[in-house]
Structures are given as C-alpha cells and as structure tokens.
Amino acid sequence: MEGLSATENLFEKWMLFSTKNDREKLADFVNCFQETYKHLVDLELTHLNDGYSEEGPHFTVLPDGVLQVFSTQLSQCSELIAHSCDLDTLHFASSIIECLIIITRNYDNVPLVASCEFVKYIVSIASTVISKIKDNSCDIDDICMFVKLVVHFFECLYDPYFVWRKRIKGWSMDKNRMKYKPANLHVEVVPFFFDCFDRGHLSFDLRIRLLHMFGAIMCGSQNNALKVITPATLEVLLKMLSADHVTGPTNELRQELFCIKDLVLKCIICMVHVINLASIDQRQVEVSHVMEDYIKILLKKEDEPQDEQETHIQLAMIGAINEMLSCQDKSSLQVIMVSGGTFDAFISLLQKTALTGSEGQNLAMSVLGVMNSVLSGSVSAKVCRPMSVLVVMNAVLSGSDSAQVCRPMSVLGVMNSVLSGSVRAQVCRPMSVLVVMNAVLSGSVSAKVCRPMSVLVVMNAVLSGSVRAKVCRPMSVLVVMNSVLSGSVRAQVCRPMSVLGVMNSVLSGSVSAKVCRPMSVLVVMNAVLSGSVRAQVCRPMSVLGVMNSVLSGSVSAKVCRPMSVLVVMNAVLSGSVRAQVCRPMSVLVVMNSVLSGSVRAQVCRPMSVLGVMNSVLSGSVSAKERFHLRVGYVKFVEALKSLGQPSIDLLKAVLNLVVETEFDGTKHLVVHNTQAAIMLLHWLPDIQSHDLQMWLSESLGTLCAKTYNKMNCCRDGMISAILQVLERSKQINTKAVGYLIGLLECLGTQSITATELKKLISLLRLDEEENQNPYCSRLMRAMSTMARREGNEGALHFLSLQEHNDCVSLPAGIKKWPGVAFSFHAWLCLDTEVDLTPHNIAGQTYRRQLYSFIASAGCGLESFVTAEFDIVISVFNKKEHSSVLVENTTIGDGHWHCIDIVQSSSRRPFTVSQLNVYFDGKLVQNSQLKFPSMTDPFSSCNIGSPCPKSALVSFADQSDSNTNAEVKKKSPFKFIFPGQSKPSSEPGIRTVPIGTQNEEWGSPIALHGQIGSVCLFHDVITPAQIKTLYTLGPNQMNIFDDEEHTELNDLVNKSVLYYSAKAHKDGVVVDLTGNQHHGHLIGQCCVTWDIKDVINCIGGIQVLFPLLEQVNKSPIPENDEVTILSSPVTISPTDDDWLLIRPSSSYADSKLEQNQAAGFLTLLRHMLHTSSTNRDTFTRTNAAATIGAILQKVNSKLIDVHVLMSAQLLVDMAATTSRTLLQHLYQYILFDFRIWSKSNFPIRIGKKVT
C-alpha cells in the first residue's frame, strides 16, 4: 500500500475494518485519518493568524457509515470508562474526537455531526475523567489532553467561523457572509460547563479553554447563546470574577488569575449584548441581574486589601461598561444602569478608594468616561424600540403581528381548547390532556410523555416560587388539576405518572433539585420545552404570562384578545413578568425596573470611573434625569474632591461629559449636560491652582456663552450656580472671577429669574464691616448689559429648533389654498454657529431651512438661509427649482429679526409674478419669481426643517420620464403668449433641475435657531402692514384686533395660520386664527425673562436705589479727564467750549460705568428705556426726587464728567420716550445745582479739561 495516495490508503484501511469489524483495524483507520489531516487539529488556533482556514474533508468523500461507527465506539468507550479509567480506551476516544474535529472543520459537515449523539457520549466520558483528576487515579496529562480536545470540538461545532476568537483579537466580522449555521446546542453542554467549574480543581489552561468554549457558544448563534446564558453559568462567571487574589512566592499564579478574570469580563460583556438583543420571552437571565451582582463584586473588591493586579482588575471592571454599551440598543442599558444605582456605587467607590494622586484621578476619569457614554445619544425611537408596550399589546390583541407575536394557538392555547371542550373528544381520545400538551411540546407522541417531570410538576415548580408565586396566583396546581379532572379526562391523565402520583411526588419533595441539578427550575422547564415550538410559545409576552391568561380562562383562539392592557400592566408592575414585555425595553419595563429596585449596575472596559459614567450618561435625557434624582452631582463632586486637587486631565474629562465628546475649546461644541458644567462651577473655589481656575472659568465661559448653549444653561440654573460661586470670590483668582461675571452677564442677557436677580442684588450689599464687594462695579455693569439687550426686542417665548429633526409640522397639511398669493411673516433669531456633527455633513455646504411647503402634485415653495447667512426664496415643480438670493442682511448677528416674504401670482394677462422680501420692516428684494400652482393640496408643510427627501427624488424621477413627451407638445402660440413657454432667465434668479438643488445650495438641515411667532397669509400684505408688524415686536400676540393699529384689522380675513410660542402645550402649537391648522412641535418651547420685567417681581425699580447710597464706599477714580472717553463717545468742543455728547456705541457705557455713580445712572437708563411699566412706576413714585436727594450726598470727587454724561444720556432717553419722565429728570437731577455745585469747576461749567 506504499504506492497508494492518502485518500486511497484511508479507504483501504476502512475496507479492512468493514470486512473484519475489528477494533484494531478501526484504530489503524483512525490513526491514518489523523495523520492525513493532523494540520486541521489546531488546538491553539494558530491558523487564524494566517488569514486563511483550510477546510476538512467533505462528508461525501468520507467512507459510508463512518459517523455511525464513531458514535457506536464512543458509546462503548463511555461505558468502559465509567467502570474503570483505562488509558487505552481514553486514547482511542481522544483519537475519535480528533477525527470529529477534522470533519467539523468543513462547514457542510457540521449539521451532520450534530445530528449524531457524539456530544452525549463525549460529555459522559469527559465528566467521568474530570472527576478522576482529584483522585489521581489516571494520568493527569492524558486527561487534560482529552478535555482540551473535547473543548476544541465544541468550539468547532458551535462556532465554526471562530467568531469569538476573532472578536477577542479585536477583528471585525461580517456575519452576513457566514452562510453556514453552527449546530444547535446540545442539552448536556451547559451542565458539563457548570460541573467542570463546580469541581474546582481544573488547571489554569483548562479553565481558560472552557471560558473560550463558553464565549464561542455565545458568539456562534443567538439561539445557542440564549440557551447557554443561564443563572447557573452566570454564577460560575461571577464566582471566578470575585475570586480572592492568590499569594505566593512568584507572580505566576497571580498572572494566571488576572488572565482568567480578564477573559471572564469579555464573556460578561458578550453576555450582556446577547441578553439585550433577545426578546423578553427568550431570556433566562435579565441584564439587571447581571449588573446587580457585578456591582456587588466591584464594591467588594474595594473593601479588600489590593495589590497592583487587583487594582488593574478593578479598573478593567469599571471600564468594561463602554464595551457593554457598544451594542445595537444602547438606550435600554443606559436607563437600567442609571435606574439601578450604578452611580451610587461609583460614588461609594470614589469615596472609599485608597488610591491617591494620579492613580485616584485616573479612577475618577474612568468613571466620567462611562458616565458620558451612558448619558450620550438621543432619546427617541430607541427608548422603546420597536414598539411600546401598548402598541405591542394592541398588535397582540388585533393579531396583526401574526405568527411572530403570538401563534394563533400556542401550546397552552391548545391545552385551554382541550379543557374548554372546543376540540372535542376526537382530538385526544386515547391521550390525556397532559399527553397532548407534552406531545405538542416535544414533537413526539411516545412513551416519553413527561420527561423528566410531568407538565404539572413543572407548572407546580414554577408556581411554587421559582418565578414568584405572583405569576399564576388565580389558580394553584390543585385548581389546574381540578380543571383537568373535571372534563372528559378521567383516570388515564398521565400514563407513566398518574395525577395523584405527580402530586405526591411534588408534595413529598421526591421531584426536587436532583432532577436537573445544575439548572434552576426555569431551566428544567426550558429543557422540557427545548427543541420544540419554543420560539412560538408566546411573543412578546413571557410563557408565564400566557399561562396566567390560559389558567384564568381568558385565552381564546387568538390567545390574548380578551386580556386587557390593564391586566398586562398589572402583571408587569407586580413583578410577575419583571422587565420582560417589549424588546428592548419598553416604558413599562423601565418603570418596573425603577420601582422594583432590582436593576443594579454594571461596569466595563479599561478606562476608569469617570470614563464609565461618561459612557453611561452620554446622550440619554432619561438617564441624566434619573442620575440627577437618584445620585445628584453634588454628591458626585464631593466624591471627586475627596481624591485631592484635580489635574487638568481630570477637568478635561469632566468637560468631555459636559459636551459628550472630546472637549476642544477651539471647536463649536454643544453643551449636552449642563448639570456637569454646574458641578464644575461648584468645584471651582476648591481648586487651589490659580492657573487651573482661570483655565476652567475661561473654558466654561467660552463654551456656555454660545448662542445655542445659553438657553439650556439658563433653564438648568447655571446663573444661580455662578452667583453661589461668586459668594466665595475670595478663594478665586481675580481673572477667573472676571470670566465668571462675563458668563453671568451673557446668560443674564438671555434670561434671568426673579430669584436669581434677588441673589445678584444681594451680592452688591455691604458686608458686616460696611465694606463694598470688590466686584460691585463689574456686577453693576453686568446688570446694565442685561437690561440693554443689544439689537431688536427679543421674543420672551420662542420655539428652539436645534436638533436635526426639530420642526413645526402640519400633520394634516393644507387641503386647499384659499387665495392667489403667499405671504410669510416670522420673528426669528439664528444661531451664529452650527454644530454639523449630528447631520454627518462636516466640511460640506448646508442650508438652514426656514419653511417648506410641498403640494401633492410636486410643486412647492421653500425658503432657507445659506451658510453665509444669505436668505434664499425658492419655488419648484417636477422639472426645475428656481431661487432668488437676498444678500447683505444682518440675519447672522445673533439678534432677533422680522422677516416677511410676499409672493403673488400674475392676476392679469401680460403680467408677471412678483416676489417682495422685507427685512426688519424694510424692502430688501423685489424680483419676478414665478408663482407655483396652488390648486393641489399641500401634503408636506414644515416650518424650521426641510421637506421629506423622498418627495423631491420622486419628482426628479417623474420629470425624467416626461421630458421627451413635453418637448413634442410645444404650443404653436408660444410667440404670441410667451408666458406659455419657458421664460427667459430673469436677473438674480437661479434655476436648476429638480433633484440637483442640494448640489447648488447645500444639504438641507434644521433651522438651528429660535422662532418667536409665525403668520401665513393667502393674500398680499402691504408694506404699511409689514411696518406695523415689525413695530409691534415679537411679543405682541393680538395682532389681528389692535385698536391702535387699524391697518392690521383686515389681516384676519387673509390669514391661513398664526403660531405663537406662547400658545403651546404638550407638543401642539395652537393655530390662533381659528382655522384649526394646529402644528406639531418637535423641539423645545422656551420662556425667557427680561431683567426689566423681572425686577418688578422683587419690588420694582426702587430696589436699585440703595446701590447709589453706597457709592461713597467705592474707590475714587484717579483720572476724571474727559479725554479718556474720546474714542467711544465723541466729545466735540464748540466755539464756546461747551461739550456736545454723542453716544457712539455700548463701549461708551463701559467707560462711563468706571464711576459707580455714573454706572448707576447708566443702569437706570437701560432699565427705563424700553419698559413702559418701569417708566410709569418711576414717575408715579417720584423716584427722580429720591435719586436727586441721594446724589446730593455722593462724594464730590465722584461727581465727575462721567456722571454728567450719564445724566445727559438719561435725559436724551427720556426725551424720546416720556415727557413726564423728562420733566422729572430736568427738575430733580439735571437742573438741581445742589448736585453739581460741589463738583470741580470744569464740570460745573462743562468746560474741557486741558
């Protein structure tokens, strides 16, 4: 046989065995097979590094019957080894397993190998020989080699593509390319895994390989993963993770334990991903249970003495949370972690840690990292994906989800049908009800009716406390039995075990934990149901939920129809179904997790505690709210303070949490977590390094002062936090205080509440020693800036549209346009900078959509703002998109502006359509832009966001198909009526084919700004009406019935809709015209408070007067020359040397406010300027006389040119607003010489100092 090839030699040896049926001949064949394909038995999987995996022989080239022979031989080996550990038998079994490994290396062979009973016999042999290790009754090396082969065989069988091994190497795999499926997990494998670790005497190498086998089963297929993830296997992993550190003369044992724990962490991460992806009824373990025990182990390690390796393990456990959150449904994990007390554990960890210095701060930075991950991301459809509990319940009740929701007759439904008599006697005449049920579940009607326990035993086991007795409370086992016996079923209920026998077994305890030792009762039930209809039992409700429905008599042919939503809700909230109703986590499940307190926490990945918290909190509004309520940032910052003085890296880690990305002061970043920023503010006075104080205050000031961040910071209480910090200004560097006051000034200009203003004024009081606050002048200047509010009057109520899907939409559209024109009026304020990260268009051009109206026929109107802040008005149809560009406006200055767009059609022959654009009441554009057809209903109407992408794409497709036909249908009268043909291009109008407008103008995004009010008219509005609308400002709601402005009265008849941010509730913007075109808001409705209005909530303008009384406590200006103001304020001498004062900018105010007396008058001027309420109060209470009396007591050195100029500017303001106020100022201030007589001579005569 020397000249034969390897394949021919194999068949020759097989023929010899087939002829003589001799074991020695079979051994020759096995040895030859091993030798031929020995390179495929790769226990260390070195072939993965080669990038190519050679396949084993296909079963079609194997000898016939070889697998049956191997199965028979393994069966015999199992019996022999059970009696005595014979090494020859063990070697022979090892050789057969090697052959099976070689065969399974061909993907086609895997199902065939799995169909045989190899696993059963191999597990039996392996369990026997492993038990011999402790007794030393067999050679240890041979046993270890056999177990290695067994574990490797299971890896090849259940993870043929070695996904697990590639995953821990960090390789990415495309499972769509894996067309061959792994074998279904054998029921003996899970008990084998448990028993191996339960014995506790395996070598390090074997434990590592067993863990790899466990990971391979989880990565091979979702179905196998759900079978292997049980309470017992979770207990094994957590037990290894919590194992005490090993001491010894060398570090070898410690290193081995570290490697095991690191691999256990990877297994737990994969376990969480699998559980989170599974539907509720498939799970045997909940993520909350994993987290609860995980956190206990983490906190336990903190209480024990630690060496360097234990510290690394702890950091790895904390950091592993980021990998857990790298899953398809991150939001449910975020809520679980926050609700369950993860951050309580982190704070406890930070407070108890023995780490100091850089090590302690690294720990804190890890927590912040995970915190950012958990809170990041948006809470939208992911919160309760794909359906909320009620939607799923509705689907179940209506039967719309068909087989995937709840098969028309589940197994328990069959039982119910039998018990109710609907299936009649022919269904199960020779069989009892339980035989039918077992037959359906097992797929086989045979003698194995109730193996290993009858259904009643399983039911009783479930009811007796394993899954809470609450599940099926309405009917105990005896009631079920009574139901069974009360019908047509008599004494033949359960062939091998009668009902009384079952009851006796259950009650006497004979059927106990010994039935299926390593598995809990639920696993036993799973084993009974395994391989049957399993997935079809009842989704999305758990089996127990359906059982409860069946037993209560409510389930009919559609299983859950009579069961009301309240019943399901009751089941969920009572803890019976726990957090298991709607994948991945419905609102009710979240509620149940929070209420039951069963959800704990889990941590992952090698960063440290700040990194973990960053991961956990990142992007989830719900997670942030729960963290704020359950833990709070005050408690967290105290934990960080306990670590000592922070480093700049630690502060940057907290700033990463604030912006939920890598912080960079040069970039336009959005504040996603204002509470974390407030936490940094509270920490600022306790930082001893002045450099860090300045860097942190400057970073926060730059970040929070951005237009799109100010409103969130004001709403969440940052102004109060700054004021609290300023109370400790003695501990803060002067420059840092300046940054904080600058931020306070910026935020207060946006909005300030009465409580905050009261705190601000209290900072200006004299202290117990009658000393003035050293920053009094700067704070007064800040108040003056808040009151000045540069630009037009801003809207106090507005809609903030910042996210990529924010808009105001009309769900029902506009069915019929009632007029022949289109007029749009709005007050808006655009952000000066846009964060393009959520839109995934970084580096590309974009346009910010103002409105978009599309008719069902394909024509429409839209307006948008380009990246250069040019306004564009467009019309389009199925063929082309025409636009007019409006340049040189100040819409990008960050202030409020009024925009009016009026488009009218040509009402008479030989006339053209007109477009007029008004900006702040002035005409800025007039063009002949054609007017679209308005006869079709508007199906898509959005304000502040673009139209659906699919609409314009479909129009472009339609236009391509109609182009040729339209070319042939030109009118013969085109020269007589030029309007019927395509007009020549008008100046200033850009026309592009439909579908290419994004290339011309950029990708459409949300408005990224604020809208105060919006009006839409179906007729032309006149320039006079537009001027009046601008004059009324954005806070005038009653624009249609204003007695003072009668020119607006006819607008009500022209109106289509009128939205005001003040008329908003629960996501609905009410149409104030009565046309019922109510809008649906996606975004925020914000309310701001102007300091000029808020001051009336704490006593009125008079509460500022004490500031003037204390100016004598302020330092005396060293230089009162007029020339220092020559730049901001123009001071022009006349021939008589009198001074003419002309304010030129707000910079003039800052120079005047260097003198506190002048600063007070400037503050008073801004408080009175645009507030009629304050002016009326001022004159009614004769406040000017009070101020004059106080000014008489002011130190004469303070009555300088600044005060004179401030008084003149105050008089000028009164001259344009109120005659009565002007008279009071003349009488009590400007011409009261008791105030000016004590000043220097040049001030008294108004002469310029030389």
Q: Give tens-digit pLDDT for 1086-1125.
A: 999 999 999 999 999 999 999 999 988 877 765 544 333 3
Contact 240, 262 (CB under 8 A): no
The residue with greater pLDDT, 587 or 438, is 438
**pLDDT tops 90 at residue 923:** yes
CA distances from 421 to 466, 486, 548, 554, 1093 (A): 31, 11, 19, 15, 76
Q: What are the φ and ψ backbone dihedral angles of 853, each rounded to 5 degrees? A: -125, 120
**pLDDT tops 70 at residue 1137:** no
Q: What is the pLDDT of residue 570?
A: 37
Q: What is the pLDDT of residue 872?
A: 95
Q: Give the least confident one: 135-139, 195-199, 269-273, 724-728.
A: 135-139
Q: pLDDT tens digit string along 49-105?
A: 877 678 889 988 888 899 999 999 999 999 998 888 788 899 999 999 999 999 999
Supply the Cα-derived Rg of the chain in whole angstroms. 40
CA–CA gap between residue 329 and residue 379 (Å, rounded)? 11
**pLDDT tops 60 at residue 612:** yes
Tokens 């119910």 belong to residue = 416
DSSP 266-323: HHHHHHHHHHHHS-GGG-SS-HHHHHHHHHHHHHHHHHS---HHHHHHHHHHHHTHHH
The residue with greater pLDDT, 229 or 357, is 229
Mean pLDDT of 664-678: 85
**pLDDT tops 80 at residue 838:** no
Q: What integer best gives the mean pLDDT of the chain?
A: 74
CA–CA gap between residue 66 and residue 716 (Å, rounded)? 74
Contacts 24+ apart (CB under 8 A), 541-545: 541/280, 541/281, 541/396, 541/406, 541/568, 541/577, 541/581, 542/280, 542/281, 542/577, 542/580, 543/281, 543/412, 544/462, 544/467, 544/471, 544/472, 544/576, 544/577, 545/471, 545/571, 545/576, 545/577
pLDDT category at 249 given cuts 50, 70, 90 is very low
Q: What is the pLDDT of residue 279?
A: 85
Q: Which of 478-482, 613-617, 639-643 has the highest mean pLDDT?
A: 639-643
Tokens 């009046």 belong to residue = 1028
Beta bridge partners of 366: 611
Q: Give the least confident one: 213-217, 296-300, 750-754.
A: 296-300
Mean pLDDT of 545-560: 35
Q: What are the φ and ψ backbone dihedral angles of 923, each rounded to 5 degrees? A: -70, 125
Mean pLDDT of 1204-1223: 92
Q: Give the least confident one: 129-133, 325-329, 858-862, 1053-1057.
A: 325-329
Closest CA to 414 of 537, 534, 567: 537
Q: pLDDT tens digit string along 426-460?
A: 333 333 334 334 433 444 333 333 333 344 443 44
Q: What is the pLDDT of residue 498?
A: 39
**pLDDT tops 60 at residue 773:** yes
**pLDDT tops 50 at residue 926:** yes
The identity of residue 1224, as a single letter, is H
Closest CA to 1197 of 1126, 1111, 1128: 1111
Q: Give the least confident one: 155-159, 599-603, 1157-1161, 1195-1199.
A: 599-603
CA–CA gap between residue 413 and residue 399 (Å, rounded)? 15
Q: Which secondary-structure segment (H or E) carries 257? A: helix 252-277
Largest CA distance in the chain: 137
* Other Cβ atoms closer than 10 A to 237: 23
**pLDDT tops 70 at residue 1136:** no
Q: pLDDT tens digit string along 368-426?
A: 667 666 666 533 323 332 323 333 233 333 333 333 323 333 333 333 333 343 333 33
Tokens 């409510």 belong to residue = 554
Contact 1145, 1152 (CB under 8 A): no
Q: What are the φ and ψ backbone dihedral angles of 898, each rounded to 5 degrees? A: -105, 125
CA distances from 650 to 348, 680, 724, 1059, 1210 (A): 18, 11, 23, 46, 49
Q: What are the φ and ψ backbone dihedral angles of 225, each rounded to 5 degrees? A: -60, -40
Mean pLDDT of 512-523: 33
Collapsed DSSP state (helix, strand, coil) of residue 1081: strand
**pLDDT tops 90 at residue 672:** no
CA–CA gap between residue 745 and residue 742 (Å, rounded)? 5
Q: pLDDT tens digit string along 1163-1172?
A: 999 999 989 9
pLDDT category at 837 given cuts 50, 70, 90 is confident
Q: pLDDT tens digit string along 141-160?
A: 888 999 999 999 999 999 99
Q: What are the φ and ψ backbone dihedral angles of 1219, each rounded to 5 degrees? A: -70, -40
Contact 907, 829 (CB under 8 A): no
pLDDT category at 354 given cuts 50, 70, 90 is low
| Non-local CB neighbours of 530 within 8 Å, separated by 6+ positions | 187, 227
% of the chain at pLDDT higher than 70:
70
Q: What is the pLDDT of residue 886?
A: 93
Q: What is the pLDDT of residue 532?
A: 36
Q: What is the pLDDT of residue 566?
A: 33
Q: What is the pLDDT of residue 1?
A: 46
Q: What is the pLDDT of residue 1017?
A: 94
Q: Give the least confident one: 176-190, 503-517, 965-979, 1094-1108.
A: 503-517
Q: What is the pLDDT of residue 666?
A: 81
**pLDDT tops 80 at residue 959:** no
Joined tokens for residue 399: 């039967």
| Domains, the chain | 403-582 (no CATH), 808-964+982-1087 (2.60.120.200), 1093-1245 (no CATH)
**pLDDT tops 60 at residue 208:** yes
Mean pLDDT of 175-181: 84
- Compute the half-sphere exposure of residue 598: CA atoms within 13 Å on the CB side of its CA: 19
**pLDDT tops 70 at residue 503:** no
Q: Is 1191 exposed, middle or buried (0-12, 13-18, 19+ CB in 10 A)?
A: buried
CA–CA gap between residue 576 and residue 1031 (Å, rounded)? 63
Mean pLDDT of 790-801: 83
Joined tokens for residue 769: 């020693």
Q: What is the pLDDT of residue 356?
A: 63
Q: Which of 334-338, 495-499, 559-563, 1231-1235 has the highest mean pLDDT?
A: 1231-1235
Contact 557, 413 (CB under 8 A): yes
**pLDDT tops 50 at residue 491:** no
The identity of residue 562, as a single letter, is P
Q: Give the least confident one: 466-475, 601-610, 1057-1066.
A: 466-475
**pLDDT tops 70 at residue 527:** no
The residue with greater pLDDT, 1145 or 119, is 119
Contact 672, 377 (CB under 8 A): no
The identity of residue 63, as a single letter, is P
DSSP character for 356? Answer: -
The identity of residue 844, as a single letter, is Q
Contact 274, 163 (CB under 8 A): no
Tokens 């297994």 belong to residue = 267
CA distances from 208 to 48, 151, 194, 259, 679 (A): 18, 10, 14, 8, 44
| Non-local CB neighbours of 909 within 8 Å, separated by 6+ positions | 979
Q: Is the bond leading into 386 cis (omega within 30 degrees of zero)? A: yes
Q: pLDDT tens digit string along 878-899?
A: 889 999 999 989 999 888 999 9
- Compute the half-sphere exposure of residue 546: CA atoms within 13 Å on the CB side of its CA: 28
Joined tokens for residue 143: 């046993």
CA–CA gap between residue 741 and residue 738 (Å, rounded)? 5
Mean pLDDT of 485-503: 36
**pLDDT tops 50 at residue 240:** yes
The distance in angstroms from the start CA to the end CA of the chain is: 124
Q: pLDDT tens digit string along 571-581?
A: 333 333 333 33
Q: pLDDT tens digit string along 928-957?
A: 888 888 888 898 899 998 876 654 455 445
The residue with greater pLDDT, 177 or 402, is 177
Mean pLDDT of 494-520: 35
